[in-house]
Structure 1
Amino acid sequence: MKKRTILDEKVKLHNGIMMPVMGFRTYKIENNELGKEAILEALNQGYRHIDMAKIYGNEEIVGQAIKESKISRSEIFVTTKLWGNELTKEQYLQEIDSSLEKLGLEFVDLFLMHWPWNNRKIAWEVLEEIYRAKKARAIGVSNFNIEQLEQLKQDAKELPVANQIEFHPGLNQTELRAYHQKNNIITIGWGTMKYHDDSLPETCEQIAREYNKTIQQLFLRWAYQHQSLIIPKSMHKTRIIENSAIDDFKISDEHMKWIDSLPQSRKGPDPNNFDFGN
C-alpha cells in the first residue's frame, strides 16, 4: 500500500469542497515547453493542486499539462485568479471565459479575486454568478486584509472560502489568520520561502540542520503547522520532490515561537497601497 504523504492531505472548505493542503504554484513559470514539463513533473510526483492566475500568462500550458498527465480531472484541484481593476461586469465575465478557454476546462475548482480591486463589489458579484453557474466549485479572494474582507461581507451572498496571502516567517499575519479562523476562511500562503535572503539569521540554518532539513523545508513546515495551505514553486525535479518532504518531522513549540519572532516586513505589494492600474 502506498504511504500517505502531505500531498494526499486535504481540508474541507466551508462549502464542503475538499482542497489539497499542498499545491504547486505556477508564478513566473513561462508559457513554454519547459514550463509545461515542470507542471507535469509536479503532477507526476503527486501534487494535485495547481495554483495559477491569468496575469501569470501561462494558462495554456497548465491546461496542456493537465490533459497530458492522463490524471482524472476529478483528482486535480485547479485554482486561478481574476485580474482587472475597474472592469465592467461584462468585461470580468469575458476574462473568466477567456481563462477557461485557454485552460481547456469547463470549470475551475477555486476562483479567487486576485487583489481587492477598487470595484471589488462588482468583481465579487461576478464570481458569485460563475459559482452559481458551476464555472467555479468555490470562490475566494487573494491579498485582502481584515477591513477589505469586512467590506466584502456587507453585500456578499456567498462568503469567500479562502484568502491567499503573503505569508512567511518575515510576515506571519497573526491577526489576519486569526480573523480567517473565526470566519471559517482558509489561509493559503504565498511566498512562504521569501525570507530566505541575505538578512536571514544564522539561527534559521542551525534550526534546519537540527531537523536535517533545508531552510525551505523548515519554512514550509512552519506554515503548515500554522494551519496554512502551502503552494511552493520550482522548475527543478529535485526541489519539487524536496518541497513535499516535510511530513516526517515536527518543529518544536520553542522553535516555532522563535521563527514567529523574526523581524516583520513585506516582500510583496501592500494591499493598502497597491497601484492597481486598470
Structure 2
Amino acid sequence: MQVTTFPSRTADLFTQGLELQPGSALLRFGAARSRPAERISWCGDGAVAWLDEPRGHLWSVGEPAAAAGLTLRAAHQLPGRIRGFTGPRGVDALLGRHLAVADPVAWAFRWTLDEPPRHPAEERVSELGEAHHGRLLAFLGAHSPSHSTGPGSSNVSLWAGIQGAGGRLVACGALSALPDSGAPLMASVATDAALRGQGLGAALTSWLTRYAVRRYGLCTLWQLADNTPADRLYTRLGYRNEDPCVAARIGTP
C-alpha cells in the first residue's frame, strides 16, 4: 500500500483521469471539480481520496491497495478524525491488517444519465412539502426505520410520495445530494409494508429518477450489494452497476 504523493488540502483529484475509468463513478459524480478550498484530499498512484470532514468519513476510488494506502495515511495524519470510510471493494480487508475495521457493508454506487421507461403508476406520485414532514417521519419510522435521510434534512431538495385512500401515505422517497459535489442522490425510498409487491416503489423510483435526470442530467443512488429485488429494479430503470464499494467504521483497537 505505497503512496507516492503526500496529502494536501488542494490535491487535484482529477489529474490521473481516474474519473473516466470503470469503477470510479463516485469520483466522477461525487467530487466537485472546483477543488473547494476546505476539502482535504489525497492523491496516490492509482487512487484518490477525499474527506467529508463533518462526518469524519473518507471517500476513495481507484485500485484497492492504493486506496487502502491513502485511507491508512489519512487515519495516521488525522488521528481520531477519520471515523469511517467508503472505498473500492477489498479495501476493508487490506485496512484490517493495520486498523480496527468494524461493521463492513458491501454496496454498489449506481447511476444513470437517462430517463427510465415510464411506469404506469407514476401519475400517482406527487411532490410533498413541509406540511407533510410529520407524516413522512411517522411513515419512515414505521416502514423503513433505518432510512438514511429524514424530513427536514438540509441536503434534501425534494420529497415525493404516493397517497392512498383518505390521503394516507403509502410510499415516499427523497432526492438528497452527494456531500462534496451536490449531485442528486435518491434516498429513503419506502413502501407501506402491507402493500409491497404492487409496484408502488417502482413507480416512485421511476418518477424520482426522471425528475433528477430532467433537472440535473443524472441521478445516483446507493444499493446494498445483496438486495436482489432492488438490483433488478434499478437495472430495469437503466442504472449502471459498475462501482462495487465497501463502507465500514474505523474503531478503537
Which TM class, normalised by the smaller chain length? 0.3 to 0.5
Q: Structure 1 or 2: larger helix share?
A: 1
Q: Which has the higher contact order (CA 8 A, sep 6+)?
A: 2
TM-score, normalised on structure 2?
0.38
Q: Structure 1 or 2: larger strand share?
A: 2
